[in-house]
Amino acid sequence: MFFLGVLGFAVYGNEALHFSCDPDKREVNLFCYNQFRPITPQVFWALQLVIVLVPGAFFHLYAACKSIKQEDNLQKSFYTGFYMFSVFLRIILEAVAFWLQIQLFGFKVNAIYMCDMGALEKKFNVTRCMVPEHFEKTIFLIAMYTFTVITVFLCVAEIFEITCRRLGFLKTQ
């Protein structure tokens, strides 16, 4: 995620500067860009990263404060339950972030954005705006969706592994 976050700034970094509408006036460009991107993908993904890391951080902070050894996590039901709860919470937060991401950005970035300028009280209510590097942005969105799905899959696999170890199907090394 960190790697993609760094690449995201390369792809989306100066998007607002190159977003141009017809007529090409600063106020129109800014108004339409804010309509096109209510939140920038970089900020969204940074928030997603922080929010998804919080449940695990709480568990590890608790474990560090209580001096819990890693081997004890599977031995004591409370620790296992607390850890599994943090993983379930991570899955829920990832799912919510995935849904929000789809609502905010969609699956494809079109080359042309039709902006509703009714609030600016212009004689033209709709104007055309050019979205820079739309194809790169589409590829990057698909990569972010893919990594979100992989993260959820790994969390589910982690819960499955812990459950199997607790039930004795897998031997703890």
Percent of the chain with pLDDT over 70: 86
| pLDDT confidence band for 133 (50 / 70 / 90) | confident
Mean pLDDT across 105-127? 84
Higher pLDDT, 28 or 170: 28
Q: Is 57 exposed, middle or buried (0-12, 13-18, 19+ CB in 10 A)?
A: exposed
The backbone torsions φ and ψ at residue 170, rounded to the nearest 5 degrees and listed phi first, read: -120, 140
Q: pTM of the prediction?
A: 0.80
CATH number of the domain bearing residue 134: 1.20.1440.80
What pLDDT score does 86 carry? 92
| pLDDT confidence band for 172 (50 / 70 / 90) | low
Express each pLDDT in 42-101 by its tens digit: 888 888 888 998 998 888 888 888 777 766 666 777 888 888 899 999 999 999 999 999
Q: What mean pLDDT, rounded, does the chain reach?
A: 84
Domain encompassing residue 42: 1-171
What pLDDT score does 124 carry? 65
Percent of the chain with pLDDT over 90: 31
Q: How many distinct structural domains can be found in the chain?
A: 1
Which of 20-34, 44-58, 92-106, 112-126 bottoms out in mean pLDDT, i.e. has the lowest? 112-126
Mean pLDDT across 15-26? 81
Task: Indicate the residue type of 42.
Answer: Q
What pLDDT score does 2 carry? 60
What pLDDT score does 4 carry? 59
DSSP string computed for 88-130: HHHHHHHHHHHHHHHHHH-S---SEEEEE-GGGT-S-SEEEEE
How many degrees, rounded to 5, is the angle at CA 127 between CA 125 and CA 128?
160
CA distance 116 to 109: 17
What pLDDT score does 10 carry? 59
Q: Using alpha carbons, select from 89, 55, 83, 66 the residue that is nearest to residue 163.
A: 83
